[in-house]
């Protein structure tokens, strides 16, 4: 069994924000796979279950707000008895350009509050993460305001494309594993970026 968790903030006010691209990726993919997401109170998340490539896959969107994502992930891991190597967390990344993705089997939070919460609550960082780039904010805008703002109109087409790309990456991970998926989907980071994040 594979557990795939998209990170974001619940509520309509945040639904179109850059910070919610993890939610958006999961909603796009489960929509394509015709897997409904339903509220499961005891795990503080919207949950949907399906199969792909002979694997049972659980998709989840925590409803705890980003900085408390660890509470939901811990409950999900316990409920579905998932090992770290079978957990994939999908989140936004300020250090990747919009339209870029990066999948890794472990690493630090890189300052991403949802990942930080998960690492703190689980007490480990050896779980897979798929980072979806949202780019850096302009100098005139604070990072906290930037991630909670909506994408610009000119960015919408790129966001749709990267949603599809990230969905393909997730399915590759579920079917082919992390090593093959890294080979297929990872591209070199811009110079000066930390690749292990």
What is the rounded CA–CA span in Å between residue 191 and residue 193? 6
- The SS3 call for residue 159 is helix
Nearest to 172 by CA among 134, 118, 130: 130
Nearest to 132 by CA among 175, 105, 106, 169: 169
Q: Is 19 among the residues known to form the active site?
A: yes
| Active-site entry in 19, 27, 102, 197 | 19
Phi/psi at 93 (nearest 5 deg)? Answer: -145, 120
DSSP state of 99: T
Helices of type H across the chain: 21-32, 69-80, 113-122, 143-148, 156-176, 178-185
What are the catalytic residues?
Answer: 19
């Amino acid at each position: 069994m594979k557990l795939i968790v998209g990170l974001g903030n619940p509520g309509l006010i945040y639904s179109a924000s850059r910070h919610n691209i993890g939610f958006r990726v999961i909603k796009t993919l489960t929509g394509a796979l015709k897997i409904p997401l339903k509220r499961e109170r005891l795990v503080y998340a919207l949950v949907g279950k399906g199969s792909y490539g002979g694997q049972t896959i659980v998709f989840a969107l925590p409803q705890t707000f980003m900085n408390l994502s660890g509470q939901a992930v811990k409950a999900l891991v316990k409920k579905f008895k998932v090992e770290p190597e079978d957990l994939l967390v999908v989140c936004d990344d300020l250090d990747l350009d919009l339209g870029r993705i990066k999948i890794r089997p472990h690493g630090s939070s890189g300052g991403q509050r949802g990942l930080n919460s998960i690492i703190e609550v689980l007490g480990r960082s050896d779980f897979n993460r798929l980072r979806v780039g949202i780019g850096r904010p302009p100098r005139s805008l604070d990072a906290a305001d930037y991630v909670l703002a909506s994408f610009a109109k000119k960015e919408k087409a790129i966001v749709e494309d990267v949603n599809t790309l990230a969905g393909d990456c997730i399915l590759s991970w579920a079917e082919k594993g992390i090593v093959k998926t890294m080979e297929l989907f990872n591209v070199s980071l811009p110079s000066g970026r930390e690749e292990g994040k």
